[in-house]
Amino acid sequence: MKIEFYGAAGCVTGSCHLLKINGKNVLLDCGMYQGTDEKERGNETFNFNPKVIDYLILSHAHIDHSGRIPLLYKQGFKGDIICTEGTKDLCSVMLPDSGHILESEAEWQNRKRTRQGLKPIEPLYTVKLAQVSMYLFKGYPYDQWIELFDGFKLRFRDAGHLLGSAIVEMLIEDDKKEIKIVYTGDLGNKHIPILKDPTPIDYADYLIMETTYGNRLHTNLSNELKDLSQIIIDTFKRGGNVIIPSFAVGRTQEVIYALNKYISENILSNIKVYVDSPLSSESTAIFSRYQKYYDEEAKGLLSKGIDPLNFDGLTFVRSPEESIKLNKINNGAIIISASGMCEAGRIKHHLKHNLWRKESSIVFVGYQAEGTLGRKIIDGAKKVKIFGEEIAVNAKIFNLQGLSGHADKNGLFNWLSSFKSKPKKVILVHGDEKASKDFSDLLTLNEYSTFIPHPGDTFIPGMVPQKFSIVRNKILSVLDSIDDLDSCDKELLLEKISSEIRSI
C-alpha cells in the first residue's frame, strides 16, 4: 500500500491524495486550487493519469475538495465517485455552478484575447460536463460499511463541517494484516449552527488530518454572534448596508440561522436580508431536505414549527436583474452573496458599490485564502481592484472567525486526543506551511509521530516517507542548467523522470 500526495500538501486548497492498494488506484478528493495556490500550481493538469483511477472517495462538496472532478472526467476518469448522499446532492448544484463561473471567466478573457489578436482559450470545464460527471456519483448514508473491492472497505462519519461532510474510515487488508487509515477531510468547528459536532473516532493506524487552523484559535462563537447583531444595528444607524461575502453552501445557511435567532429573541426586528446567489437558493433547499443531519437545537426549532432557514424579511435573489436592483439600496440592507473569498460572482458587484462607503460594513465569516480579494481586504489593503477599477476601502471591515466551519488548533487537538490509542503516524495536510508546522510541533510535544507531505511525496506504512518534492526540485535545478532545452522540453522531461522515480 502506498499513499501519494498531490493537492492540499504544503498548502490549504486543492485536496487530492492517491492511495495505491491491491492493484487499485483510489483517489481521496479532487479539489480545485484557489488564490495563491492556483497561481503557483494551476488547475489544468494532474500529476497522474486520470484514466487509471478506479475510485474517487469524496469527503465533502466544497470546491477545494470536489472542484476538479469534471476535469478528471474530461481527461478519462470513468470510475465510481463514493460519497455521502448529502454530498452527492450538493455537488449536483455546486459543480455546474463552478462550470458556469469557468465558462463566464473564459468568455471574458476571450473578448480581451480577440482584441489582442490571440487565440481563444477553453474553460477548464463546462456546465454540461459537470452535469454529465454527476452520473459517476454514488451516495451513501453515514455509519454504513461499504466494500469497494476485495481487501478495502470504508464508512463515512459526520465531520460536522458541511451538510454531508465526512470523516472517512478505511479498512485495508495488506499482506494479510488489517490497516486502518482515517482521512478527516475538513473537521468542523464545535457548536456551529445546524450541524452536529465532528464524530469521535476510536483509533487509526494512520491518520491523514487537516490543519487549516492548526496554529490559530477561534474567538468565542456566542460572542461573535452578538458582535454580528451589533454590527448590523450600528451600520444601520450610520445609514449603510451590511455586506457579507459568504460561501453559498454551508456558511450562508449558518448566517441565515443566526439572523433567524436574533429575530426570534427580539434582538433584531424588521430587517431586510437578501441572499444574492442562485447557488445559495438551491443549496438551502437541499439543506431543508436533510433535516435528519441537523443538530439537536435545530431539530428542536423544527419540533416547534419554526423553520430555521426561513423568516419574514428574507429574500432569495435569483435573476441578474434583481441583483442589479440591490445596488440601488443605500442603507438598511443585509446582503449575503457569493463567492466567500470574493474571487467571482455577484459579491464583487456589491463590494464595488459599498466598499468605498464609510457608512457600510463588510463582514467576513469564512476562511480567506492567500492571494484572494477577500484576504487582501482583511489584511488591510487601502485600495483594491474590482473589475479593473480601483476601489477605496472605506467601509468598516470585520472578520468573524468564530463562525468558521473548520476546527481551530484546540478543536483539532481535542478531537485527536479522544482516540483510544495514538496513530502510528499523523499525516498533516490542508494547511499552509506555518499552520502545519506549528501543529506538528504541538503533536510532537505530546509524543505523536507526524509527517508533513509536499506535492509528489509518498508514504508507505512502516517505511520512512519519501520526500519526492525535494528530489523533484533537484531534478528541475539540473534541467534549468541545460541551456538548449526550452521550457516545454524541460517540463516533459521532468514529468517523464518523475514518473519513472515514482514507479520504483
pLDDT tens, N- to C-terminus, the chain (504 residues): 899 999 999 999 999 999 999 999 999 999 999 888 888 899 999 999 999 999 999 999 999 999 999 999 999 999 999 999 999 999 999 999 999 989 988 998 899 899 999 999 999 999 999 999 999 999 999 999 999 999 999 999 999 999 999 999 999 997 778 999 999 999 998 888 899 999 999 999 999 999 999 999 887 766 667 789 999 999 999 999 999 998 888 889 989 998 998 888 888 899 999 999 889 899 999 999 999 999 999 999 999 988 999 999 999 998 999 999 999 999 999 999 988 888 888 999 999 999 999 999 999 988 787 888 999 999 999 999 998 899 999 999 999 876 778 999 999 999 999 999 999 999 999 999 999 999 999 999 999 999 999 999 999 987 767 665 555 556 666 666 666 666 556 556 665 665 555 444
Instruction: List the CATH number of the domain containing 239.
Output: 3.40.50.10890
130 and 183 together in one domain: yes
Phi-psi region of 68 (alpha: psi -120 to 50; beta: other; left: phi over 0): alpha
Burial class of 120 by CB neighbour count within 10 A (0 to 12, 13 to 18, 19+): exposed
Q: Note the pLDDT of residue 498.
A: 59
Question: What is the rounded (10 degree) CA torsion for 466, 208, 46, 368?
Answer: -120
Q: Give me the amino acid identity at 398.
A: F
* Dist. CA 305–CA 310, nearest whole Å: 12
β partners of residue 466: 458
All cell numbers assigned to 305: 414549527
Chain-centre distance for alpha carbon 326 = 28
Question: What is the rounded (10 degree) CA torsion for 404, 142, 9, 469?
Answer: 170
Domain membership of residue 194 as a residue range: 2-216+405-466
Q: Note the pLDDT of residue 486.
A: 63
Under 8 Å between Cβ of 280 and 248: yes
pTM of structure: 0.85
57 and 110 together in one domain: yes
* Dist. CA 282–CA 96, nearest whole Å: 12
Q: Note the pLDDT of residue 403.
A: 72
12 and 49 together in one domain: yes
Instruction: List the CATH number of the domain containing 435.
Output: 3.60.15.10
* Dist. CA 71–CA 54, nearest whole Å: 16
296 and 350 together in one domain: yes
Number of Cβ within a 10 Å radius of residue 282: 20
153 and 244 together in one domain: no
6 and 119 together in one domain: yes
Phi, psi of 24 (to 5 degrees): -110, 150
437-463: b (≥16 Cβ within 10 Å) or e? bbbbebbeeeebebbbbbbbbbbebee
The SS3 assignment for 269 reads: coil
All cell numbers assigned to 86: 448529502
Q: Note the pLDDT of residue 276.
A: 93
**Could you tell me the sign of the dihedral formed by the alpha carbons of 317, 293, 300, 247, in that order?**
negative
Quote the Cα angle for 332-338-67, to 5°.
170
Phi-psi region of 488 (alpha: psi -120 to 50; beta: other; left: phi over 0): alpha
β partners of residue 207: 182, 426
252 and 155 together in one domain: no
Under 8 Å between Cβ of 181 and 205: yes
Under 8 Å between Cβ of 58 and 94: no
All cell numbers assigned to 366: 469564512
Residue reference for cell 465569516: 365
385 and 461 together in one domain: no
- The number of C-alpha atoms within 13 Å of 10 and in the hemisphere containing its C-beta is 13
Under 8 Å between Cβ of 338 and 246: yes
- The number of C-alpha atoms within 13 Å of 185 and in the hemisphere containing its C-beta is 36
Which of 382, 403, 424 is a domain's end point?
403
Q: Note the pLDDT of residue 59.
A: 98
Q: Looking at residue 294, what DSSP letter applies?
A: B
Q: Where do runs of H (alpha helix) occur along 269-370?
A: 278-289, 296-303, 320-326, 347-354
* Dist. CA 186–CA 350, nearest whole Å: 29
Which of 364, 388, 403 is a domain's end point?
403
Q: Note the pLDDT of residue 339.
A: 83
* Dist. CA 74–CA 122, nearest whole Å: 13
All cell numbers assigned to 106: 473564459
Under 8 Å between Cβ of 4 and 20: yes
* Dist. CA 477–CA 340, nearest whole Å: 38
Cα 410 to Cα 52, 187, 416, 434, 439, distances in angstroms: 39, 12, 10, 16, 10
Which residues lie closer than 8 Å to 415 by C-beta, 6 or more apart?
Answer: 187, 198, 200, 407
Phi, psi of 452 (to 5 degrees): -110, 105
All cell numbers assigned to 180: 486502518
203 and 243 together in one domain: no
370: closest CA among 30, 39, 19? 39
191 and 320 together in one domain: no
All cell numbers assigned to 360: 457600510
Instruction: Give, to the nearest 10 degrees, the angle between helix 251-264 and helix 278-289.
Output: 70
Under 8 Å between Cβ of 179 and 205: yes
433 and 310 together in one domain: no
Q: Report, in this order, helix, strand and coil percent for the chain, each rounded to 5.
A: 40, 20, 40
* Dist. CA 352–CA 390, nearest whole Å: 9
Q: Note the pLDDT of residue 504.
A: 46
To which H or E segment does residue 272 belong? strand 272-276
161 and 202 together in one domain: yes
* Dist. CA 27–CA 76, nearest whole Å: 14
> How many independent structural domains does the chain possess?
3
